[in-house]
Copies of this chain bind each other. A is one copy, B any other.
Amino acid sequence: MASWYRHCSMMPFAAALGCADMGDRTLSDLGEFGLIEKLTSGLATSPAVILGPGDDTAEVNLAGANVLITVDVLIENRHFRKDWSTPIDVGRKAAAASLADIAAMGASASALVVAFAGPGDLPAAWAAACTAGLAQEADLVGACIVGGDVSNADLITIAVTAIGPAPARVVTRSGAQPGDVVAVAGRLGWSAAGFAVLSRGFRSPRALVNAHRVPEPPYALGPQAAHMGATAMIDISDGLIADARHLARASQVLVDLDSDALSVPEELSAAAAAYNIDPRMWMLTGGEDHALLATFPASASLPAGFSIIGSVTAPGDDGPGVSVNHTFDHSRGGYQHFIA
């Protein structure tokens, strides 16, 4: 569920021209991030666009005000299963993905619009409860659902767009500096552990299963991190390593993660032992918890809730990216759509 926000070029419609160099390649061949690269490589921009594709949200100047905007889509059987989650869970999860993107810019969302599609035989009560879940999650940050669209689709599809006012200081992915500390707030690996539990046909431990059903992004810590001087920030939706890599590449730095600094919660270690898995794998590669990963100057006081898990250095021979315990990570290290 990566977003394809990044600074865009001045070449209008070159995306169409870009078709020629794709040959017969499919979405699966390119993978999620390769596709995003292709789709955004030729987009036009305008003076109103302050931040285009490539960050957690875009930033646009509208009538003199700077506005953040982001969209995320959840699809039945890809992002959720009706037999695993209640419709309220699904609505909350769908809203959380977009609300966390706004938080990761150091901001707070004000409003959501929702495109909802589903099959004709879906109980209307399911759609209503899902909408209630969207509204409940939005209410956690004081946002409202202000509109939407409904349509007919074989599988339930929920695209949530969030908008909010840009604060005076927007924290992008691209401001990390060598010497900064790397810190995280929120859960790591809980959703992945819950997915592992559910995939094996179990419904407990409840804490992990519930974490997979409804993430708990630390929304308030996004603006606090901005206030305390965060130099870069990203919402962890694809996995710690994958999203640290996005931040590292945007900032042209090396992010070194210290796996010993990841304190493994009892809930994760118990489940991991039962499945003979290293719980740190969940914490390093599991997505969908929507924790916040931020970098701060070494001298900064961190907001309560953030823990230091690494440091930023200038890139080495392998270029910008992520190392774990000083070993460069060449893996994909996170979930990508289209790649099995």
A270 at interface (Cβ–Cβ under 8 A)? no
| Contact bitstring A19-42, B, C-beta under 8 A = 1, else 0 | 110111111111010111011101
> Can you report 22 residue pairs joining A to B where beta carbons are below 8 Å apart?
A3-B149, A19-B128, A25-B125, A26-B124, A27-B123, A28-B121, A35-B124, A39-B148, A42-B135, A43-B145, A44-B145, A53-B146, A58-B146, A62-B110, A71-B113, A71-B148, A71-B161, A115-B159, A115-B161, A149-B159, A152-B337, A152-B338
A155 at interface (Cβ–Cβ under 8 A)? yes
A281 at interface (Cβ–Cβ under 8 A)? no
Given A71-B113, A113-B58, are A163 and B163 neighbors across the interface (CB < 8 Å)? Answer: yes
A113-153 interface (Cβ within 8 A of B): 113-125, 127-129, 131-133, 135-136, 139, 142-153
A72 at interface (Cβ–Cβ under 8 A)? yes
Give the chain B neighbours of A8 by CB distance below 8 A: 144, 146
| A300–B70 CA distance with the chains assembled, in angstroms | 40
**Which of the residues B49, B75, B113, B337 comes within 8 Å of A146, measured between beta carbons?**
B49
A: residues with CB less than 8 A from B are 1-5, 8, 12-13, 15-16, 18-20, 22-30, 32, 34-36, 38-40, 42-46, 48-49, 51-53, 57-58, 60, 62-67, 69-73, 75, 78-79, 88, 110-111, 113-125, 127-129, 131-133, 135-136, 139, 142-155, 157, 159, 161, 163-166, 337-338
Q: Is the CB of A161 within 8 A of B69?
A: yes
Give the chain B neighbours of A51 by CB distance below 8 A: 146
Q: Is the CB of B128 within 8 A of A22?
A: yes
Residue of A39, A52, A123 contacting most chain B CB atoms (<10 Å): A39
Which residue of the partner chain B has the closest CB to A14?
A: B132
Give the chain B neighbours of A119 by CB distance below 8 A: 27
| A36–B49 CA distance with the chains assembled, in angstroms | 33
Give the chain B neighbours of A18 by CB distance below 8 A: 128
Give the chain B neighbours of A114 by CB distance below 8 A: 71
Give the chain B neighbours of A69 by CB distance below 8 A: 111, 113, 146-147, 161, 163
| A124–B24 CA distance with the chains assembled, in angstroms | 8
Give the chain B neighbours of A63 by CB distance below 8 A: 65-67, 165-166
Q: Is the CB of B19 within 8 A of A129?
A: yes
Closest beta carbon of chain B to A130's beta carbon, Å: 9
**Which of the residues B148, B154, B157 comes within 8 Å of A117, measured between beta carbons?**
B157
Given A39-B127, A135-B43, A165-B63, are A148 and B115 neighbors across the interface (CB < 8 Å)? Answer: no
Q: Is the CB of B46 within 8 A of A117?
A: no
Given A60-B163, A148-B71, are A111 and B28 neighbors across the interface (CB < 8 Å)? Answer: no
Give the chain B neighbours of A65 by CB distance below 8 A: 62-65, 67
Given A32-B150, A147-B69, are A164 and B26 neighbors across the interface (CB < 8 Å)? Answer: no
Q: Is the CB of A38 within 8 A of B124?
A: yes
Closest beta carbon of chain B to A177's beta carbon, Å: 25
Give the chain B neighbours of A5 by CB distance below 8 A: 146-148
Closest beta carbon of chain B to A29's beta carbon, Å: 7
| A26–B125 CA distance with the chains assembled, in angstroms | 8
